[in-house]
Amino acid sequence: MTCYFLESTAFAKLFVQEPGTDALIRLMEAVEDNRKLIAASAPLEVYAAIRRSERAGSLSAEDAAAALEILRMEAARMVQEPLNPAVLEAARQLLDRTVLRWPDALQLGAALVAREMFQGTEIVFVSAAPQLLEAANAEGFNTLDPAKEAAATVPATE
């Protein structure tokens, strides 16, 4: 069985149209909810990004409201890795050995802890951030950039 850990840059694509949005939506439609993983901090990070876009004028108030409602519903359906001491320690260790920024280390740390919890399950790390994808590869994850790997990556439903 394969699970997909959506880091915030990928998770945001479900709510705001960007390169890779359509491919990611197709992937998420093909995957059962219990195989969609996010860090507990991801919904807040995406919420902040939507509000920033609205304040900058690149997203209308109506579109922002719609995106925030979809965000609330989708986040509730996904498995959320809590920001517990194990995740914080994994993130600290990543900061010691990588050049990741702390929010990215927190995301990858959550994925590392989730991988330990779901032993025997492949976890694909999904992100649109090249540096984070590189770090995830170095940690032994298979990775997916929805903007680059489009529809060919959508698996058959298991």
Round the CA-based radius of gyration of the chain to a whole number and report it.
15
Tell me which amino acid residue 120 is.
G
* Domains recognised in the chain with CATH numbers: 2-153 (3.40.50.1010)
What angle do helix axes 102-117 and 130-138 make, rounded to 10 degrees? 40
Cα–Cα distance between 69 and 43 in angstroms, integer? Answer: 11
118-147 residue pLDDT tens: 999 999 999 999 999 999 999 999 999 998
Q: How far is CA 8 from CA 96, 105, 129, in A?
A: 22, 12, 9
Cα–Cα distance between 8 and 35 in angstroms, integer? Answer: 16
Spell out, as residue ranges, where the chain has pLDDT lower than 50.
151-158
Cα–Cα distance between 70 and 155 in angstroms, integer? Answer: 24
Q: Which two tokens stand for residue 67?
A: 């995106």
Per-residue pLDDT at 148: 86
Residue appearing with tokens 């860090």 = 39
Identify the CA nearest to 148 among candidates 131, 128, 132.
128
pTM of the entire predicted model: 0.90
Q: Residue 81 in 3-state DSSP?
A: strand
